[in-house]
Amino acid sequence: MDVDLLSALIGIVAGAFGYWFTTFIMQPILRFRELRNKVLKDFIYYAQVINADGLNDEMQKLFQERILENRRSSAELLAATQDLPSWYLSYLKYKKYDPSKAAQSLIGFSNTYKHNESHVLESSIRKQLGLPEMS
């Protein structure tokens, strides 16, 4: 077999494997980690608007955004979890993280208007996603 042909075949096989690995292994993991960090950023950004009763119009609007963002994050997190490789899901289970349960809890968090309940749910979501606890 010619050396040039062998080099071309090796290149094609390596390129196909690289594409497969990136598309089906790395992209789902990176997407999941990005959404996980988005949940953390939303917790920080919307921390002051758990209950918007008696707040001004700007805070009322921020309150509505919080509800929508939490629901959107929940849906995206659940969808991203479905695409994760099974070995990564096993790793998450080993670490005692449960992103599917976190997505469900995020819906509950979006419906919460009481500060005590919201802190309990937020702490649970942080634990389920492996996010750092509030200080």
Residue 38's domain comprises 30-129
What is the tens place of the pLDDT at every residue in 106-116? 999 999 888 88
Tokens of 71: 């629901």
Tokens of 100: 């599917």
The span from the CA of 17 to the CA of 10, in Å, is 11
In a domain, 14, yes or no: no
| Helices then strands, each counted (H, E), the chain | 6, 0
The span from the CA of 122 to the CA of 114, in Å, is 12
pLDDT band (50, 70, 90) for residue 87: very high
Whether pLDDT at 38 is above 70 = yes
In a domain, 124, yes or no: yes
- The type of residue at 109 is F
The count of structural domains within the chain is: 1
In a domain, 23, yes or no: no
Tokens of 119: 């802190």
In a domain, 18, yes or no: no
In a domain, 47, yes or no: yes
Residue pointed to by tokens 């919201």? 118
Q: For residue 115, how far is the Cα from the chain centroid?
A: 23
Percent of the chain with pLDDT over 70: 99
What is the tens place of the pLDDT at every residue in 39-80? 999 999 998 888 878 888 888 899 999 999 999 999 999 999
In a domain, 42, yes or no: yes
